[in-house]
Structure 1
Amino acid sequence: MTKLELSLALRTNPRVQALVDDPHAIEGVRLRTSLLPPADTFWRQLNFQDFDISEMSLASLTRLRLQGDDTWVALPVFPDRRFFHAAVVVRADSDVRTPADLRGKRIGVADYSMTGAVWARGVLQHDHDLHPSSMTWFQERTTRLSHGGATSFRPPEDVEVVQIGPDDSQRRMFAEGRLEASILFITYKTMLDRSTGSMDEANVRLLFPDDDAEKARAFGTWGFLPFNHCMVVRRSLVEAHPWLLLNIYKGFLDAKTTHLAALQEAVRLHREVGLVPASGSTDVDLFPYGLRANAHGLDTLSRFFHEQGITPSSFTVRELFDDRFASL
């Protein structure tokens, strides 16, 4: 059988590495893979539809679908997860010690509508009583070079979002004392961001000094690691090749299974020599794929989208995904 030659764009991580390493990992497909920062992948897909398969922002994909654009079919493959609120940074010399101290402050953000920022604001609101309207937001990405600009996002009326000028940046505003904090300070290079680089160089520190303890607390409260991206495939390809969608899903699932098997073996060996407590469990899959295992996370993200003006209340994130995943 002649294989489909398809392009793939994503940021690598251990759960997808086996697929990245093998261009034939998806049955019936030969992949041409580009390893890109998520911000660049999303912007290129939103503006130019450059790749057949890619990682995609759930907020941006939702915005597209609400505008009637169904170029992409979403797969319930969530390649990256974290508690984004635990990465909030403040000026190193700031007197901000708790989330409550951020009320009335000037907060930087790369792209106000980005999914990671939605998760961070949602947890801060529900767990720490810090509503987005209680702060002034400064967005670094311009309308032309942003996901919000590509999807015509406008912030809700009760939230003030100020555009940082093209010759300014979050990093400079921190240095000059014009910002108190930043939500999702992006350290790696992208085409869209001007403040990349280490946090130490920017003279900032984490809002939660013991961020591991805060992540453990949040996991105990919410019961899952928040996800901000899914995988998408060009709809015209799925319509022309009905077998393709589930083959792609299986390819990503197999790659994750390969990683988890290696991880379990490493943990077993560490237990044998006493470096990992025998009581510690690694049986919980913190990166589940499929709709059923992610129902709570999808419903929570839908609620945060509604509350923060990303979507109307009539829309749920589950609607993004093809019916073939309903039972998975």
Structure 2
Amino acid sequence: MNDLDLRIAAGEYDTTRALFDGSVTVNGVRSVHVSTAATLPEIFQALLRGDVDVCEFGLTFYLRTLDIDASFVAIPAFPNRVFRHSCVFVHADSGITQPSDLTGRSIGEFGIYGQDSGVWAKGILMDEYGFRPEQDRWVIGGLDHPMPPFEFTTHPHPDNVEVTAVPAGKTLSGMLETGEIDALFTANVPQPVLDGSPAIRRLFPDHEPIERDYYRRTGIFPMMHVIAAPRDVLAANPGLDRAVYRAFLQAKDAAAQQYCDSRRLYQVHHMLPWTNALFDRNDRLLPHDWWPYGVSANHKALDTYLRYHHEQGLSTRRWTIEKIFAPDLLET
């Protein structure tokens, strides 16, 4: 392993910043090169093309590879998490004011049917509000720029779920703004919303209290992505999976410590006002390690996601945690 020049690709978050600036590295390798891309799908494609050795990878994209050839192995580090009640948008004149109003509607989703954000949002709505995706018509395409469904991954969905592509030249955000679709499940905020369009609003306009209550009741902080590596790379470099896990963990912990240290100074290192009050409020709800890595602290959230993935017809089998992660990291 000490002759390995390791190539890593990931989003440049606070959880990964220490890897990018070199203050945290991967022990036991000759060199580390960390890169990113303009969009997360581009990062995922770098792994699929073999351009990198270790990569941030969407959970659903990883599970889809397991159903094909199991050529990648997941490492239980989760650099990207978001509570997803906030990711469902509706056309303002659609008459949708609550989850039950989604029945029989046309709903957009970015890139694929069953993106990580959509898996979580659908699953939560199914568990808590009786939502049934098969009762709707799903339209897949680009959010703010025209594009076909992703070509670099598979597109499974149940036979009783209607899934079509966005018409050529159109975008999901544009179709939602004009009312051509009734709702949208998205990982990113649509540009018309950022521009203040009155034609689009969230299904849960005051989503923070709902998401906090969801966490209080379930203990689940949804993760979108894992770290993954080609199986043959890990096999050729014993101990690499653990070294990579430790590096991502150290980078995340370094970011968390910065927030904790900045608390004394009212978070003056950040431009957002009232950040310190938000930190205090979160401290009363979340555990000390509010963004945990490893299997044990994330067992319930991971198992819930695996259940959702299978229930939504995206996996050919009900995967278990023991089958999707590097075996020597299961005790983390």
TM-score, with length taken from structure 1: 0.86
Number of aligned residue pairs: 314
* Structure 2 residue corresponding to 1:245, chosen from 237, 241, 254: 241
**2:177, 2:200 within 8 Å by CA — same for their partners in 1?**
no
**2:55, 2:228 within 8 Å by CA — same for their partners in 1?**
yes
Q: Which moved more, 1:14-23 or 1:280-289?
A: 280-289
Unaligned runs of 5+ in 1: 188-195
* Structure 1 residue corresponding to 2:191, chosen from 171, 192, 197: 197
Alpha-carbon shift at residue 314 of structure 1 (Å)? 4.1
Q: Matched residues in 1 for 2:245 and 2:308: separation?
A: 27
> 2:169 is matched by which residue type in structure 1?
D
Aligned residue in 2 for 1:312:
316
Aligned residue in 2 for 1:233:
229
**1:23, 1:31 within 8 Å by CA — same for their partners in 2?**
no
Alpha-carbon shift at residue 85 of structure 1 (Å)? 3.0
> 1:105 is matched by which residue type in structure 2?
R
**1:24, 1:31 within 8 Å by CA — same for their partners in 2?**
no
Tell me the alpha carbon deviations over residues 5-45 of structure 1, each in whole angstroms, 9 at most, x when there is no partner.
22211111111111111076111332222222222212343
* Structure 2 residue corresponding to 1:163, chosen from 162, 165, 169: 165
Alpha-carbon shift at residue 281 of structure 1 (Å)? 6.2
Alpha-carbon shift at residue 312 of structure 1 (Å)? 3.0
Q: Matched residues in 1 for 2:47 and 2:192: separation?
A: 27
Alpha-carbon shift at residue 266 of structure 1 (Å)? 2.2
Report 1:41-60 matches (<5 A): 41-46=43-48, 48-60=49-61
Aligned residue in 2 for 1:325:
329
Aligned residue in 2 for 1:99:
99
Q: Matched residues in 1 for 2:323 and 2:170: separation?
A: 39
Residues 212 and 314 of structure 1: is their aligned pair in 2 closer, same or farther, counting only changes over 3 Å?
A: closer
Q: Which moved more, 1:299-308 or 1:17-26?
A: 17-26
Residues 60 and 85 of structure 1: is their aligned pair in 2 closer, same or farther, counting only changes over 3 Å?
A: same
Q: Matched residues in 2 for 1:254 and 1:277: separation?
A: 25
Unaligned runs of 5+ in 2: 268-275
Tell me the alpha carbon deviations over residues 296-327 of structure 1, each in whole angstroms, 9 at most, x when there is no partner.
11111111011100113443244111110121
Report 1:142-153 matches (<5 A): 146-147=149-150, 149-153=151-155
Residues 24 and 296 of structure 1: is their aligned pair in 2 closer, same or farther, counting only changes over 3 Å?
A: closer
Q: Secondary structure of the equivalent of 1:50?
A: coil
Q: Secondary structure of the equivalent of 1:168?
A: coil
Q: Matched residues in 1 for 2:171 and 2:281: separation?
A: 46
Tell me the alpha carbon deviations over residues 183-220 of structure 1, each in whole angstroms, 9 at most, x when there is no partner.
01535xxxxxxxx6352446422111111112112112
Aligned residue in 1 for 2:34:
33
Aligned residue in 2 for 1:294:
298
TM-score, with length taken from structure 2: 0.85
Aligned residue in 2 for 1:265:
261
Alpha-carbon shift at residue 153 of structure 1 (Å)? 2.4
Aligned residue in 1 for 2:307:
303
Aligned residue in 2 for 1:191:
none
Q: Matched residues in 1 for 2:185 and 2:281: separation?
A: 35
Alpha-carbon shift at residue 222 of structure 1 (Å)? 2.0
Residues 281 and 140 of structure 1: is their aligned pair in 2 closer, same or farther, counting only changes over 3 Å?
A: closer
Tell me the alpha carbon deviations over residues 139-198 of structure 1, each in whole angstroms, 9 at most, x when there is no partner.
1159x9645x534322102211121123222123123321111001535xxxxxxxx635
Residues 299 and 282 of structure 1: is their aligned pair in 2 closer, same or farther, counting only changes over 3 Å?
A: closer
Q: Matched residues in 1 for 2:9 and 2:70: separation?
A: 20
Aligned residue in 2 for 1:112:
113
* Structure 1 residue corresponding to 2:284, chosen from 251, 258, 280: 280
* Structure 2 residue corresponding to 1:180, chosen from 179, 182, 189: 182
Alpha-carbon shift at residue 2 of structure 1 (Å)? 5.5
**1:55, 1:232 within 8 Å by CA — same for their partners in 2?**
yes
**1:89, 1:185 within 8 Å by CA — same for their partners in 2?**
no
Report 1:212-227 matches (<5 A): 212-227=208-223
